[in-house]
Chains A and B, each alone.
Chain A
Amino acid sequence: MPSTLFDKIWESHEVAPGLVYIDLHLVHEVTSPQAFDGLRLAGRTVRRPDRTLATADHNVPTDGSTAAAQIRDKLSRVQVETLERNCREFGIPIHSIGSANQGIVHVIGPELGVTQPGMTIVCGDSHTSTHGAFGALAFGIGTSEVEHVLATQTLQQQKPRSMRISYSGELGFGVTAKDLALGTIGRIGTSGGVGHVIEYAGAPIRELSMEGRMTVCNMTIEGGGRAGMIAPDETTFEWVLGRAGAPAELPEEWRGLSTDEGAAFDTEVEIDASAISPQVTWGTTPAQVTDVTGTVPEPGDESEERALAYMDLEPGTPIAEIRLDRVFIGSCTNSRIGDLRAAAEVVKGRRVASGVDAMVVPGSQMVKAQAEAEGLDEVFRAAGFDWRSAGCSMCLGMNPDTLAPGERCASTSNRNFEGRQGRGGRTHLVSPQMAAAAAVEGRFVDIRSWS
């Protein structure tokens, strides 16, 4: 019987009915301390430290600090130090603050080559869906499950349903993977993918770079999906092979990682990629999104009324008239080298508008080093951007990078929830190119006609 990519990975990882083997467990400082405590209390060990990898990302200041001891915020410092201590005690490899490999967990996994096609990958972080871009089954788990995976290298899971989102047409000039992701969530809603593993398919997906595919899979969770995945192809193999943690040569089984002709999905969705414009969110969920050429809509229900009040926006206001205080280019959604190159291209030779505070936070120290080798840091600095060190930063503001109450931000991150980037802060989600252009103009502009 023809099967889906998801079926194939699921079936090859079932140890017993409802018990799935985990090939790679990524760990960070926020969702792991209580799991390690649980192991200690029960006298348990970590089953496969060699299938586990840790980094510090959520709490790290992006000021160039090189050791946990330099973190000023006491609770953040303790949390990073606790991770370092736990990893030492349990023998888990860690790339903490100060390491040349440190960075956002969903950036360093692929970059180090430990994220590979056909794997099952989990992490105590909802954006683990990112790794599905490589044809892996990857999803976020809670702390109890982190403890379970540490102890057993397996996870108890009921098999989710399957969904395929097939894109037709092609992405227009200036329309990016981020716009594709936001446009999709705008169509299916914040719970459109609940209970489903989503496979993204079609020519517009095949034509995306690995960075673009990671952006699409990353945002899966914002549409409620359990995991997002894209069948691996030459683009994938070329990107992965030869990286430190990856095989040097193509394993034959990677070629079989695709959905068979005629395989059935529980849900099928079709979207015309040509119809998607650059997207800007106006509300407090990623589904509250519209075209850059659009206007702030009339609220359709109580949630939307609440969102408009929080965002301090009037219905009918053109998106292009929304003025900004801050711009954030970073996060596990859009902080990879391709994202930074695209943003730098937009700001080259231009200046950040007066009154706008703009920052670029590379996703990892490796991305930072690569960008600096290409001179991108100079392009950003010359334009008036603050060039920072790697971490989650203002995507969620667990470190000192936060919005002040009332500040309005164009952000390349993934969540525009109330208070996400700082209490009272107002977030508009956009692509790196749109964020860069917004920094220059101090308001949103249509990247397609802007020059």
Chain B
Amino acid sequence: MNPVQVIEGRVSVLDRADVDTDQIIPKQFLKRVERTGFGEFLFHDWAKEPGWDLPSAPILAAGRNFGCGSSREHAPWALQDYGFAAVVAPSFADIFYSNCTKIGLLPVVLADDEVRALMDAGEARIDLDAQTVSFAGGEARFEIDQETKRRLLNGLDDIGLTLQSADAIEAYEAERERSGPVTTAL
């Protein structure tokens, strides 16, 4: 994962609530076994509607409960591949939010009126370290878990970090191994 520090530039606006992952990347594109190349299919069905306008930009601003539905990481992959580096919304679905942080697509939660102001401003600068979003006419502060922030700022590999605790995992298994059949015994 590449480090995430400052994200700056145009804001693309998707002013809809409950945007689900089926819209972000419809199921027919989940059949691919690769991790890249999903950007061209982003919002595949909605993009066919008259008046659809979602230019590639560093920042996407959207309505509440963004990313609800399935756990498909293909949704953040598609958004990132399309060009977005941050998504700002009044709220996110849990799994989607977590998936974003794993790939370095920064999810930012702001209040409704702040998201609205950001949409109107059209351009912004997000500073992860300072936890601020600045735009013409205002600045907003956002919350983020400090451990998640540290990993994003430094582009750390989650698995590598966890494997540093291999001894603790081994000790846990030695002490708390469940009794009964295992899956390989079926």
Most buried by B among A33, A143, A398, A418: A143
**Residue pair A246, B180 in contact (C-beta under 8 Å):** yes
Q: Which B residues lie within 8 Å of A389 (CB)? A: none
Residue B34 at the chain A interface, CB threshold 8 Å: yes
Query: Which among A59, A101, A144, A160 is the interface contact of B73 at CB below 8 angstroms?
Result: A144
| A19 → chain B closest CB, angstroms | 6
Contact pattern, B 72-108, Cβ under 8 Å of A = 1, otherwise 0: 1110100000000000000111110011001100000
Q: Is B33 an interface residue (CB 8 A)?
A: yes
A141–B168 CA distance with the chains assembled, in angstroms: 23
Q: How far is the CB of B142 from chain A (nearest CB, A)?
A: 15
| Contact partners of A226 in chain B: CB under 8 A | 94-95
For B71, give its contact among A21, A52, A125 (CB under 8 Å). A125
Q: When the two chains form their complex, are residues B169 and A124 in contact, meaning their CB atoms are under 8 A apart?
A: no
**Across the interface, do A144 and B158 meet the contact criterion of CB distance under 8 Å?**
yes
* Chain A residues within an 8 Å CB radius of B99: 142-145
Q: Please indicate the chain B residues that have their CB under 8 angstroms from the CB of A143 in the complex.
A: 35, 73-74, 99
* Structural contact, B31 and A145, CB atoms closer than 8 A: no
Distance between Cα atoms of A59 and B76 in the complex (Å): 22
- Complex contacts, B76 vs chain A, CB 8 Å: 142
A360 to nearest B CB, angstroms? 21
Interface size on B, residues (CB 8 A): 59
Knowing A190-B68, A224-B68, the reply to whether A423 touches B34 (Cβ < 8 A) is no
- Separation in Å of the B100 CB from the closest CB of chain A? 9
Chain A residue contacts of B32, Cβ below 8 A = 75
Interface string of A143-169 (1 = CB under 8 A from B): 111011001111010101000000000
Write out the residue numbers on chain B whose beta carbons fall within 8 Å of the beta carbon of A31.
Answer: 71-73
Chain B proximity mask over A111-126: 1 for CB below 8 Å, otherwise 0: 0111010010000111
Find residues 132-186 in chain B having any chain A CB closer than 8 Å to their own CB: 145, 147-148, 158-159, 161-163, 165-166, 168-169, 172-173, 176, 178-186
The answer to whether B65 has its CB under 8 Å from any CB of chain A is yes
Contacts of B31 in A (CB 8 A): 30, 59, 73, 75-76, 78-79, 398
With A15-B168, A154-B169 as contacts: A415 and B162 at CB distance below 8 Å: no
A114 → B minimal CB distance (Å):
6
- Taking CB atoms, residues of chain A closer than 8 Å to B69 are 126, 221, 415, 417
What CA separation (Å) do A141 and B96 show in the bound complex? 9
Tell me if A16 counts as interface (CB < 8 A to partner B): yes
Cβ contact within 8 Å between B33 and A224: no
Q: Does A191 contact B (CB under 8 A)?
A: yes
Chain A 230-253 interface residues, beta-carbon cutoff 8 Å to B: 244-247, 251
Task: Contact check, B73 vs A156: say whether CB atoms are below 8 A apart.
Answer: no
Q: In the bound complex, do residue B165 and residue A398 qualify as a contact, i.e. CB atoms below 8 Å apart?
A: no
Question: Which size class do A's interface residues fall under?
Answer: 35 or more
Of B35, B65, B68, B72, which is in contact with the most chain A CB atoms at under 10 Å from its CB?
Answer: B68
List residues 67-115 of chain A with CB under 8 A from any CB of chain B: 73, 75-76, 78-79, 82, 91, 93, 101, 112-114
In the complex, chain A residues whose CB is within 8 Å of the CB of B2 = none
- Does B122 have its Cβ within 8 Å of any Cβ on chain A? no
A172 to chain B, nearest CB (A): 30
Is A37's CB within 8 Å of the partner chain B? yes
B112 contacts partner chain A, Cβ-Cβ < 8 Å: no
Contact: A145 with B102, CB < 8 Å? Answer: yes
Residues in B with CB closer than 8 Å to A15 are 165, 168-169, 172
19 contacts between A and B (CB under 8 A): A16-B168, A24-B183, A30-B72, A34-B33, A37-B35, A44-B159, A49-B183, A91-B184, A116-B180, A126-B95, A143-B35, A145-B99, A190-B18, A194-B92, A251-B180, A396-B27, A415-B22, A418-B22, A419-B22
Interface residues of B (CB under 8 A from A): 16-18, 20, 22-23, 26-28, 30-35, 45, 64-65, 68-74, 76, 91-95, 98-99, 102-103, 145, 147-148, 158-159, 161-163, 165-166, 168-169, 172-173, 176, 178-186
> Which residues in A have some Cβ–Cβ distance to B below 8 Å?
12, 15-16, 18-19, 21, 23-24, 30-31, 33-34, 37, 42, 44, 47, 49-53, 58-59, 73, 75-76, 78-79, 82, 91, 93, 101, 112-114, 116, 119, 124-126, 128, 139-145, 147-148, 151-154, 156, 158, 160, 190-191, 194-195, 221, 224, 226, 244-247, 251, 285, 302-303, 306, 396-398, 415, 417-420, 423
Task: Give 10 closest A-B pairs by Cβ, nearest first.
Answer: A142-B99, A50-B182, A144-B102, A142-B73, A75-B31, A33-B33, A140-B71, A143-B73, A247-B180, A191-B65
Known: A49-B183, A79-B33. 18 other contacts (CB 8 A): A12-B176, A21-B172, A47-B169, A50-B182, A58-B30, A126-B70, A140-B70, A144-B73, A148-B159, A151-B163, A152-B163, A158-B148, A190-B65, A190-B68, A221-B69, A303-B16, A415-B20, A423-B45
